[in-house]
């Protein structure tokens, strides 16, 4: 019998915790938020340390740096107060303001609560850590960050706390994919999800978000068990988002069919992102969170510097296995 790789996770008959964790995800999220914020800040600091930011001199209002006056420049540019303290003339440069908006969507649907026994982080925990850490890094670099349908874009240095509060107090349905909205042509979208929704829904979402010309980065967050299908013997598979359950007498006989369906599902997502000029990344929860964060920051930084040149083909970012 075929196994659909859509929002399924395995449990044996004696273990009822998986369903309970999915039902109680909203209640436990608030309690775990302080530890999650600390972890996000730790991961962000790893990337920020030694990082060359995208801020530079140019049109703006905020002070950036002093530099030596160059012969031939208008005398009106000289900062006479600073120059009076030295034997040289200095020009006061302002910070180049090129902040753009990055929309981050963290999938918080019930399927994200799953974590296989050898793995420490659930997909939900890893997704939220990456979302908060990425927001911290981007705001540190002068960008604005928002959550579609949940939080307006902000460049506030307390963005992590603002995002955490918005998530904790959200009473809406936990959807896998972001709501329909139209990001500006210069905005970017980061979609963090296990992407086990129907391929038609995934295609429609990506196509709609790219309709305004916004650039995007699709990241599939998966547990190692969803990659390797390690189950043997009699196993009950439960769909945590209302899709029912099914029992396998010999689960190991389903592995080949399962892995081929996962590959086909990913190939279809990759085909759509390539067509639209978006990037596609697969991230396993047994890999370091900082690895994905650095890759995303580099990808977003490259898009910012391109400033309007939108290549129609995007190379896939592959994380080491």
Which tops the pLDDT comparison, 46 or 295?
295
Where in the sequence is the domain holding 70, given as residue range(s)? 63-94
Whether 90 and 102 map to the same domain: the answer is no
Whether 189 and 140 map to the same domain: the answer is yes
Whether 70 and 133 map to the same domain: the answer is no
- Tokens 């160059």 belong to which residue? 70
32: Cα separation from own chain's centroid: 19
Last residue of a domain, one of 94, 114, 149: 94
> Quick one: 93 exposed, middle or buried, by C-beta within 10 A (0-12, 13-18, 19+)?
middle
Q: Distance from first CA to last CA of the chain, Å, rounded?
A: 29
Whether 72 and 201 map to the same domain: the answer is no
Whether 72 and 167 map to the same domain: the answer is no
Q: Is residue 126 part of a domain?
A: yes
Note the pLDDT tens digit of each residue in 43-92: 877 776 544 444 444 444 455 567 888 877 888 888 888 888 888 888 87
Distance of alpha carbon 101 from alpha carbon 48, whole angstroms: 19
DSSP-assigned beta bridge partners for residue 239: 244
Q: Where are the alpha helices (DSSP H) in 115-183?
A: 123-140, 159-168
Q: Is residue 58 part of a domain?
A: no
Distance of alpha carbon 232 from alpha carbon 162, whole angstroms: 44
Q: With 60 as the cut, is the pLDDT of residue 4 above it?
A: no
Note the pLDDT tens digit of each residue in 191-236: 999 999 999 999 999 999 999 899 999 999 999 999 999 998 988 8
Neighbours of 145 (CB within 10 A): 27
Measured in residues, the chain has a length of: 321
Whether 158 and 174 map to the same domain: the answer is yes
Tell me the percentage of the chain whose pLDDT exceeds 90.
38
Distance of alpha carbon 62 from alpha carbon 125, whole angstroms: 36
- Confidence at residue 321, expressed as pLDDT on a 0 to 100 scale: 34
Lowest-pLDDT range, 38-42, 104-108, 222-226?
A: 38-42
Distance of alpha carbon 67 from alpha carbon 283, whole angstroms: 43
> What mean pLDDT is reported for the chain?
78
Whether 89 and 208 map to the same domain: the answer is no
Domain count, the chain: 2
Joined tokens for residue 290 = 């900082």
Q: Using the 8-state DSSP alphabet, how is residue 100 labeled?
A: -
């Amino acid at each position: 019998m075929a196994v659909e790789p859509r929002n399924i996770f395995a449990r044996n008959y004696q273990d009822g915790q998986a369903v309970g964790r999915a039902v109680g995800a909203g209640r436990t999220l608030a309690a775990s938020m302080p530890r999650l914020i600390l972890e996000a800040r730790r991961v962000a600091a790893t990337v920020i340390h030694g990082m060359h930011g995208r801020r530079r001199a140019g049109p703006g209002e905020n002070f950036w740096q002093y530099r030596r006056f160059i012969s031939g420049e208008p005398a009106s540019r000289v900062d006479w107060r600073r120059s009076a303290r030295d034997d040289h003339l200095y020009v006061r440069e302002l910070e180049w303001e090129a902040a753009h908006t990055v929309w981050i969507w963290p999938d918080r649907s019930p399927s994200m609560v799953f974590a296989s026994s050898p793995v420490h982080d659930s997909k939900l925990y890893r997704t939220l850590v990456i979302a908060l850490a990425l927001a911290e890094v981007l705001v540190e670099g002068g960008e604005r960050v928002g959550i579609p349908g949940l939080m307006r874009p902000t460049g506030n240095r307390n963005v992590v706390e603002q995002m955490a509060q918005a998530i904790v107090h959200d009473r809406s349905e936990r959807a896998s994919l972001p709501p329909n909205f139209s990001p500006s042509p210069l905005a970017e979208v980061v979609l963090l999800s296990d992407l086990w929704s129907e391929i038609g829904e995934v295609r429609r979402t990506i196509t709609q978000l790219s309709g305004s010309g916004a650039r995007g980065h699709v990241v599939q967050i998966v547990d190692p068990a969803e990659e390797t299908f390690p189950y043997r013997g009699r196993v009950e598979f439960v769909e945590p988002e209302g899709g029912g359950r099914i029992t396998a007498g010999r689960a190991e006989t389903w592995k080949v069919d399962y892995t081929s369906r996962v590959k086909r599902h990913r190939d279809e997502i990759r085909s759509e992102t390539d067509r639209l000029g978006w990037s596609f990344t697969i991230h396993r929860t047994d890999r370091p969170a900082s690895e994905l964060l650095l890759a995303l920051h580099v990808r977003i930084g490259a898009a910012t510097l391109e400033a309007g040149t939108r290549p129609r083909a995007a190379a896939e970012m592959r994380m080491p296995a």
